Amino acid sequence: MNDVTAEALTPKLTGKIARDRIRLLRTPRPPQGLIEKFKRIPDASSVISDVMDELGITGAIGASVLKPTLPNASIVGPALTVRNIIQREHVYETARDHVNRMAEFEAHNLAQPGDVIVIDGVAGISNMGGISAQTGKRQGEAGAIVSGGIRDVSHSRRVDYPLWATEITPVTGKWRIETVEINGDIQIAGIRVSPGDIVVADETGVCFIPIARAAEVLERALAKAAFEEEKCSAIDAGTSVADLPSKE
C-alpha cells in the first residue's frame, strides 16, 4: 500500500464511550461526480424540494426551522450522523465531577473532506461550539446541521464553518449531553437521515436526500433548473407573461 499503512488509514478513536457508539467507521460515499453536479443547481433547496415532492420523498426543512449562521452559505455533501440525548445525572453533579459524555469530536475524527455533520441533538443546550466548528473546518467538512442548540457563533463564522441549527444558546452541552450513536439512523424534524444521505443546505432551507434516490433526484433537479433558467432568460428578454415557458 505504498508508504501508507492500514493503521494510518484507520480512524483513531479517542475514547471507549465513542468506540462503543460508532455504527460505521466509514460513511458511505456517493457516486463519483454526484456532489459536484448537485452544486451546479441554483436555488438548490427549492428546486430539490419540488423534485422530492414529485417523487414522493419527504426530506425538506425550511430555514425558519434550521437557521443558517452564515449569509449566502450553500453546501452539499454526504451526511455523517450523530445522536445526542440528555445525561441522566443532574448537571451540578456532572459539572462538579467533570463528566463529559459528548463525542461529536469522534464524528470530526471520522469525517472525510466534504462530509456534513448532522446532529440529532438536544434542545436548549449547545450540541456544537466554536472549537468543534474549527475542528470540522480543519477536517475539510462542508459544514454541519444541528437539530438543537449551538453556541460560539462568532467563532464558527470567523473560521468560515457553515452551520444550520434550530437554536443558539450559551448553555454548554459538555456536562448535560451524552452522545449515544455516531453514523446510525437519526431523526431531524421528523425526517429520517441515514449515514451517506445527501445533504443540500442554503439560505432557504435544508434537504436530506436518501442516497438510494439521489441520482434520480439529481437528474430531475438539473432538468428543472435548466427550465427555470430558460424562463428567467425569457423574462429578461421582455417576453410577455402569456408567452413565458410553462411546461418543464
Least confident segment among 82-86, 102-106, 121-125, 239-243: 239-243
pLDDT digit string (tens) for 86-108?
Answer: 998 888 888 888 888 899 999 99
What's the pTM?
Answer: 0.88
Domains of the chain with bracketed CATH: 16-235 (3.50.30.40)
Helical segments of the chain, H only: 6-9, 16-21, 34-38, 44-55, 91-97, 104-110, 130-138, 153-158, 214-236
Whether pLDDT at 7 is above 50: no
151 is in an annotated binding site: yes
Whether pLDDT at 12 is above 80: no
Whether pLDDT at 84 is above 80: yes
Least confident segment among 41-45, 100-104, 135-139, 213-217: 100-104
Q: What number of other Cβ atoms are within 10 A of residue 90's Cβ?
A: 11
158 is in an annotated binding site: no
Whether pLDDT at 164 is above 70: yes
